[in-house]
Amino acid sequence: RQSTRRGGHFPRALRASRFPWMSIARQERLLWTTLGLAFGAASYVNLRRSLWSSTSALADKFPSPPPPQPPLPADEPVFGATAKNGIRRAWNAGVDRVFGDLVKFLKDRQL
């Protein structure tokens, strides 16, 4: 039995648009964009799964890393007394070089 309504003998899917406010070209763009995004997302997930599984298989072939080294004792200083004295001397010489003229100027004015 055929309908005598608008559209005649075409099935409902072909007769009526799901989005009557959109042109057919826009509906096509929306369809292919959606399909492209779905295919891209599926490809991305598949690629990540294969990369993780291949990395895991490769990691299983190698021995485990050695255990971490124990930390250095906190009692031992990183720099000895001579290194610290050298750093102090260099710092003081730098300060004298930078601010020496200012100190002399202020001393002459008795400030």
pLDDT tens sequence across 22-74: 788 888 999 999 999 999 999 999 999 999 999 999 888 888 888 888 887 77
What is the dihedral angle through the alpha carbons of 52, 54, 56, 57, rounded to the nearest 10 degrees?
160
Token pair in block for residue 77: 């200083």
Burial pattern 13-27, b for ≥16 Cβ within 10 A else e, equals: eeeeeeeeeeeeeee
Mean pLDDT of the 1-5 span: 51
Q: Which pTM does this prediction carry? A: 0.39
Q: Could you give the percent of the chain with pLDDT greater than 70? A: 80
- Residue 110: band (very low, low, confident or very high) from pLDDT cuts 50, 70, 90: confident
Burial pattern 64-78, b for ≥16 Cβ within 10 A else e, equals: eeeeeeeeeeeeeee
